[in-house]
A and B are shown apart, each in its own frame.
Chain A
Amino acid sequence: MNILRFLQEVDRRVLYALMLLVIAFPVLVPIPLPMKVSPATQSLYDSIEGLKENDFVLFGVSWGAGTRGESRSQTYALMRHLMRKKVRFALLAFEPQAKVLNQKIAEELQKEYGYVEGVNWVNFGYQIDQENFLQGFGKDIVGTIKKDIEGNPIGSLKVMEGVQTAKDIKFLIDVTGSRSFEVYITFLQQPFNIPMGGGLTAVMAPEAYNRLDSRQMVGLLGGLSGSAEYEKLLGKTGEATGASTSSAFAHLLIIAFILLGNVAMFLEKRQRQRMGYGEK
């Protein structure tokens, strides 16, 4: 087979094997890479940094195991920052798996920062039908949620002191792999004028940039690189910093193969023209 044709038709199993290799290698042998913090990440960090002690934050966590690779590190980084700032927060999920996944993260981090469930944070659990739910939630949080995931009436929890309606929420975050951030903007951020930030998967992030432009969102973490940038700002290396190296190598492999395929195609075209075959 012609080498130029071969370079355009590399067997997909070879690509899979190379991809596996470039993802696994930095996991086994950590390679620290310099990174630049994007304005969207910096802006989110600054906004959370500006919160006062004991402010109440609604932390939307509508992600499941499917986007765990990106969303978990975003949740870790943002939750860590909230705990450092000593603000109260409530987890709210519109994805069935999120209730358990995020409970584990909060339970793990609370030991480090002396947080107590029910006193400094609460898990509102999984709720259905985000559009309808948020309309009631904004008007009466306790009346709509009623109980946390442990079955405690949320009106009796210390963490909810002075929190009745969405007007009492000082900041809103949504870490998600879906369009749930749009619904938050429509039914909570806009009507109650709550500053909002987001953590989105890399494929979703470009859709949220118009919300940054319109100031409906103050900042944004885009994919794994977003959480790695946030970890850098926090000065605490987490899983995203290592994983972003794998991601960088994977991207580079994709770019290399795209270029390889195109160069080979271009050279083969010229070769055929020289030999008088014309277009294939």
Chain B
Amino acid sequence: MFSPKTGTAFWLYVFGACVFTVVLVVILQALPQRARRPLMLAATFIGGLFYVLEFFVPLRTMPTPQDPDAVGNFMTPFVVPVAGILIPIVGAVAFGLGAINLFQIHGRRILKKNPNYFFSYVFFIGFFTTLTIGILQRLRPNAINKNLYDLIVVGGYQNLDATMFSIIAFYITSAAYRAFRVKSVEATLLLVTALIVMLGQISLGQMLTNWLPEQGVGFLGNFRFEVIRDWILNKANTPAVRAINFGLGIGSLAVALRIWLGLERGSYFDSQG
């Protein structure tokens, strides 16, 4: 089933997959909301069950041509097809779903002439231009298509993305100036720590304590900004981050279990009755 197909068999598989998808979507659309819920629950449970079995069923020696020392259980042979074939397919479907959602939202805005509906036209123009040039560049990688792709994606999109992120530097300056005020013991502690870490991080800050001996040479060497920064990051920050990660891990496990077993409220069309 997971082996590559070529020629007529390949096209038959593509055709079969398309027919299956259309039929599935039509059936799901025709079902009432209440009937969809058990289907979603079953799909989620079966999906999650794969990982539960793979991780919790005891392992034994399972040599393969690629890895003679491999260990696993009866689910292990499916891990590679799931990761290499099924997940990209699900991902592609998710991208498609995202595009359909955007079409619906922006299409509705244009039809209803909502305020600023002009930007929805920008979305459609941007989407189809980028899509067309991307496909052309892949199918016919000649100089024109390559330059167009570079202009839109490398020259346009990537630089816009970088610019958006760079603007944060200005906001941080303004926010730090207004928010970092010594109004309580906690705020003072935070301020002093932040200043030391910042000074220890930059060469100009390190120069301020360059007159002190090197770390390990004398006691005063422990007061160089970069040494205090390392101490804060390793001794104060590390246990705090680790504690947060423990909490996050346990919380994630609880949420995952609730979703897997269908106990989470608000999911699976609950809100749609």
Contact = CB atoms under 8 A, between A and B. Distances in A.
Given A67-B165, A69-B162, A135-B83, A225 B201 contact: yes
B135 to A, nearest CB: 15
A97 B76 CA distance: 32
B161 interface: yes
Nearest to A252: B204
Contacts of B165: 65-67, 69
B203 A33 contact: yes
Interface string A23-45: 10000000001111011000000
Interface stretch (B27-35, B110-118, B168-176): B168-176
B245 interface: yes
A207 B241 contact: yes
Best-surrounded residue of A33, A65, A67, A244 (most CB of chain B within 10 A): A65
A248 B204 contact: yes
B207 interface: yes
A4 interface: no
A65 B201 contact: no
Contact of B230 (A38, A135, A253): A38
A262 B182 contact: yes
Contacts of A206: 233, 237, 241
Interface in B57-74: 64, 66-67, 69-70, 72
A253 B169 CA distance: 11
A66 B161 contact: yes
A210 B177 contact: no
B237 A258 contact: no
Contact of B202 (A68, A140, A247, A260): A247
B62 to A, nearest CB: 10
Interface residues of B, number: 60
B195 interface: yes
A254 B182 contact: no
B199 A164 contact: no
A19 B169 contact: yes
Interface string B102-134: 000000000000000000000000000000000
A100 B48 CA distance: 34
B15 to A, nearest CB: 22
Interface in B162-199: 162, 164-166, 169-170, 172-174, 176-178, 180-182, 191, 195, 198-199
B238 A209 contact: yes
Interface in A165-214: 165, 167, 202, 206-207, 209-210, 212-213
A135 to B, nearest CB: 5
A129 B210 CA distance: 47
B230 A257 contact: no
Given A100-B153, A100-B154, A132-B82, A202 B201 contact: yes
B206 A35 contact: yes
Given A38-B226, A65-B161, A225-B202, A139 B70 contact: yes
Contacts of B166: 69
A251 B202 contact: yes
A26 B92 CA distance: 45
A262 B238 CA distance: 29
Given A210-B242, A258-B195, A262-B180, A136 B234 contact: no
A10 B241 contact: no
B106 to A, nearest CB: 21
B217 interface: no
Interface string B41-69: 00000000000000000000000101101
B101 interface: no
Contacts of B234: 209, 212-213
Given A209-B237, A265-B182, A167 B67 contact: yes
Interface in B206-240: 206-207, 210, 226, 230, 233-234, 237-239
B91 interface: yes
A255 B174 CA distance: 11
Interface string A225-267: 1000000000000000000110111111111011011100110
A255 B165 CA distance: 21
29 contacts: A16-B173, A16-B174, A23-B169, A33-B203, A33-B207, A34-B210, A35-B203, A66-B164, A128-B87, A128-B91, A132-B82, A133-B83, A135-B83, A143-B66, A164-B66, A165-B66, A165-B67, A165-B70, A209-B241, A210-B239, A210-B245, A223-B201, A245-B203, A248-B205, A251-B198, A251-B204, A255-B198, A257-B177, A265-B181
Given A66-B165, A262-B191, 6 more contacts: A36-B203, A36-B226, A145-B84, A167-B69, A213-B234, A225-B201
Instruction: List 6 tightest A-B contacts by C-beta distance, closest first.
Output: A136-B83, A128-B91, A248-B202, A65-B158, A66-B165, A65-B161
